[in-house]
Homo-oligomer: A and B are copies of this chain.
Amino acid sequence: MAAESQRTTTVSSTVEDYLKVVLKIEDMKQRASTSRVARHLDVADATVTDMLRKLKKAGLLEYKPYYGATLTRKGRRMAVRMLRRHRLLEMFLHQVLGYGWEQVHQEAERLEHAVSDLFISRIDALLDYPAQDPHGEAIPDARGFRQVEDDLCLAEAEPGSYIIRKVTNSEAEFLAYLDKVGLRPAIRFSLQEKAPFQGPLKLLPEGGREPVYLGLEASGSIFVVPLKQRPPAPLPEGAASRQAGDRPGRATEKEEA
């Protein structure tokens, strides 16, 4: 019954969504400008201007007109908490309720605002404190610590052997496609060719019958770890995404809260 971070302030699910988006943008090393936030949330720019001002007043982020937002410590804490909830819920839906990895995102998107901290700590225990979600993304721990995720983007990889670490794109159709061609976290493949000028990549997945050709959208959202001479130990059974601990490409912990 590990204590989940006890809320100090209660905010609407709308606020939670804004914070999540700002965190996501900051994680991509981009400026959280009004329009960028608006695009992520699919609302009008004017709406975001208003809301960022409110969030600033609530002490959740800094806001500079004509520039954009930066999370404060408090805002970041809340955003990371949502990330943890989202990813734990995805893992729960996948492992316990048998959802496909392309189905988990949408459901978690609603549940993350509705479940209690008790619910979260119970599924955390039930899943035996998973470190990754079904897409291979790291789950922040209950204290708000996050693994540094410095994996190599497939779009930047050179020909060679790799293992898929994570896929950062939650569109169901896209994930269903990857699944169909045999690309999932923990799957090994060899990158055989890169056509020039951002052309398609040719790669051969592990069980490989057919080669697969991927364009920019796909290769930009797949992150990999190069397979060394000594390939990583076989993964614990149970799930494509239940890998634990330290492997090349995963650095140690980093404070967040």
Q: Identify the A interface with B (CB < 8 A).
A: 93, 96-99, 103, 106-107, 110-111, 113-116, 118-119, 122-123, 126
Contact = CB atoms under 8 A, between A and B. Distances in A.
A97 B123 contact: yes
11 contacts: A96-B126, A97-B126, A98-B122, A99-B122, A106-B116, A107-B116, A107-B119, A110-B114, A110-B115, A111-B111, A114-B114
Contacts of A103: 118
Nearest to A111: B114
Dominant secondary structure at the A interface:
helix
A115 B103 CA distance: 13
Contacts of A110: 114-116
A97 B122 contact: yes
Given A97-B119, A97-B123, A98-B122, 15 more contacts: A96-B96, A96-B126, A97-B122, A97-B126, A99-B118, A103-B118, A106-B116, A107-B115, A107-B116, A107-B119, A110-B114, A111-B111, A111-B114, A111-B115, A113-B114
Q: Pick the 3 closest A-B CB pairs, nearest first.
A: A114-B114, A97-B122, A110-B114
Contacts of A122: 97-99
Contacts of A123: 97
A136 to B, nearest CB: 23
A145 B103 CA distance: 29
A124 to B, nearest CB: 11
Contact of A118 (B107, B114, B115): B107
Nearest to A13: B114
A19 B207 CA distance: 53
Contacts of A116: 106-107, 110
A93 B107 CA distance: 17
Nearest to A1: B98
A223 to B, nearest CB: 28
A107 to B, nearest CB: 6
A111 B123 CA distance: 15
A126 B99 CA distance: 13
A229 B173 CA distance: 62
